[in-house]
Structure 1
Amino acid sequence: MHELACFTRLALCFETLRAEAPFDPDLLMRKLRENVSGCLTYDTEVWSFEYVCKPSLFFSSPDGPFYTGNEALAEYECEYIIKSRRPEGVWDINWKWADYDLEFAVSENWWKADRAVKNMLYLNGFGRLDI
């Protein structure tokens, strides 16, 4: 999942910079679209308690090249983000570092901050940010 996200960012960099790629950019984008759709977790029932692949890993607005074909799931993620926000304004982290309880306890607040920034950017990209 994370490797795929890196490749999507690489493809977008080539596209943005209009750089000459040492590969067929159209073929890469076609393959990435297929893989993104195949990687997403469509079973939203498990989103709260499993480490899953959500649309926000690959795009942050309807303008993204990986949005097409994933519209419903992307909109669902907006609703999910809004509904799962804690009263303190952050989101719970639904995973742990198995053998590193102490280290995770120290870093958990960093991960909450990271998730808060990413969720707010995602909501903003979809015009759903109510401040």
Structure 2
Amino acid sequence: MSDVYARAREFVLTQGRPLDRARLLFHFESGPARAVLDELARFQNDDGGFGRALEPDLRTPVSSAVATWCAFTVLHEIGADTGEPLVRRAVRYLLDSYDPDERRWWIVPPEVEDSPRAGWWAYHDIAGNFGGCLLNPTAGLAGALWEHPEGVPPALLAELTETVLQRLEALADDRMDRGDLTAAELFAQARHLPAAAQAQAVAALRRAAARLVEHQPQAWTAYTLQPLDVAHAPDSFLAPAVEPASVEANLAYLLDLQLPDGSWPLTWTWADVDAQAWPVAEREAKGLVALERLRVLAAYGRL
């Protein structure tokens, strides 16, 4: 066991959420997927959506599109089966909360204003925030339905696919931002997405990633899209968008940046917004980030 892994493991297992502990054990120590599902279920509401601070910077217990997208990314990484009751309920939430007139999911509900949150998770002017929710979270949730298409009306899948592809083509070269790119990754890698749609999505996302990635190490202390945020693994579909030299520099940077307690410093804060809620959110986010750093480092053979 490498020192990097041992220290990060200790942090996640002692400071991280039970969900991220179960994910760490699943990815690195043959832990059961069932344990991940059981912990994820604690964040699911009666309406099938997810809330309860699954996204640590959004503390509302109410279901939101973004928290549900977070849940589906976890379901994707463990290869969850559509037959799981948790999955079926989550799909039903997506069908119920989709806005067919606007062809999008609105990223957060009005209730976010009633709980602690980062300043950017605001409902005010939601139509103008997050790029109008055209891709973030809509592309990701369209991908979630392609992951689990059973029970989804084929006409809706066709509509969503056409809509997302049109938006990717229109926005990739100048208006897509980091959140859009991250959301659209789940669409492009959805297990049952038709091959032609996948190829078109991947091409657009590679163009956007090449434009958005920050190559200068001195800028990585800020909330920027680092090379390894795009090239998660050598064989990831966005890896060709990043120069190998930038990937190597970012790997060295992450190894040097690990803190003595095994975590990595965050590149954001909202302590100035809510000094009481932030320490809890920070600890949860650091556990999540530590797990993601380990997955990337392992993919490149650095553990």
Superposition TM-score tier, normalisation by shorter sequence: 0.7 to 0.9
**Number of equivalenced pairs:** 124
Structure 1 residues 112-127: aligned runs within 5 Å: 112-127=286-301
Of 16, 26, 29, the match for 2:199: 26
Distance of aligned partners of 1:29 and 1:126 in 2 relative to their CA distance in 1, 3 Å threshold: same
Q: Which residue of the partner structure matches residue 67 of structure 2?
A: none
Aligned-pair identity in percent equals 21
Q: Which amino acid aligns with 1:44?
A: P
SS at match of 1:27: helix
2:277 paired with 1:103: yes
Tell me what 2:186 maps to: 9
TM-score (norm 2): 0.38
Gaps of 5+ in 1: none
CA RMSD of aligned residues (A): 1.8
2:238 alignment partner in structure 1: 66
CA 1:103–1:111: 2 relative to 1, 3 Å: same
Letter in 1 for 2:289: R
Aligned twin of 1:84: 257
Q: Distance in 1 between matches of 2:186 and 2:230?
A: 8
Moved over 6 A (4+): none
CA apart distance, 1:10: 1.1
Give, in angstroms, the shift of residue 18 of structure 1: 4.5
Offset, 1:24: 3.5
TM-score, normalised relative to structure 1: 0.84
- For residue 76 of structure 1, report the CA deviation from its aligned partner: 1.6
